[in-house]
Amino acid sequence: MVLKIARSLAVGVFLFGIANIQAAPQDRDHDRDDRGWYQNRDSFYHGEGWKMRLFDRVRDDLNRVQEVDFNGRDQYRIERTKQELNELQGKLASQRYDQPELDDVIGALNGVVAANQLSPRDRDMLNDDLARLREYREHHEDWR
């Protein structure tokens, strides 16, 4: 009986070790993918015409955080922020600037940043989005 338990335990430890060895390259690949994603995001702001696509970028950032950081927690905050963003974009597409709607987007995004456990990098990214949305609010008439 003791021999069976010891053998089962040894097999379990062996299998656990193999699983960890196989998981390590995946983690490195994930880190590499993350670096590439953030580099692409940073290069977006160095290109031309990014101001016209700011709201799409914010949505992409929200999608990224939702996929990577949220794991089912507080999904409603992200969904609400994307809904507010959709409403704002709809009005802007009709050539109607709606500052209260923009304020709703900023408030919803601020709620995502303040009330969730984000990685430091994702928190910085969303804070950057907040700063750009606030800049848009202050200078929307010159925003091209």
Instruction: Extract the tokens encoding 74.
Output: 């507080």
pLDDT at 6 over 50: no
Q: Quote the pLDDT of residue 3.
A: 53
Together in a domain, 62 and 106: yes
Q: Quote the pLDDT of residue 18.
A: 45
Together in a domain, 69 and 124: yes
Greater confidence (16 vs 41) lies with 41
Structural domains counted in the chain? 2
Together in a domain, 77 and 120: yes
Together in a domain, 83 and 136: yes
pLDDT at 30 over 60: no
Q: What is the mean pLDDT of residues 119-136?
A: 92
44 and 64 Cβ atoms separated by less than 8 Å:
no
Residues 77 and 108: their CA atoms lie apart, in Å, by 7
> Is residue 116 helix, strand or coil?
coil
Q: Residue 102's CB: how many other CB atoms inside 10 A?
A: 21
pLDDT at 23 over 90: no
Together in a domain, 17 and 73: no
Together in a domain, 39 and 93: no
Q: Quote the pLDDT of residue 5.
A: 54
Together in a domain, 61 and 10: no
Q: What is the mean pLDDT of residues 110-138?
A: 90
59 and 85 Cβ atoms separated by less than 8 Å:
yes
Together in a domain, 86 and 30: no
Together in a domain, 34 and 80: no
Q: Quote the pLDDT of residue 13.
A: 44
Together in a domain, 77 and 141: yes
106 and 134 Cβ atoms separated by less than 8 Å:
yes
Place of tokens 């490195």: 28
Greater confidence (36 vs 135) lies with 135
Together in a domain, 70 and 127: yes
Together in a domain, 32 and 102: no
Q: Quote the pLDDT of residue 67.
A: 83
| Chain segment 42-94, per-residue pLDDT in tens | 666 566 666 778 898 999 999 988 887 665 666 888 999 999 999 999 998 89
Query: What predicted TM-score, i.e. pTM, was given to this entire model?
Result: 0.69
109 and 133 Cβ atoms separated by less than 8 Å:
yes
pLDDT at 7 over 60: no
**Range of the structural domain that residue 40 is part of:** 1-44
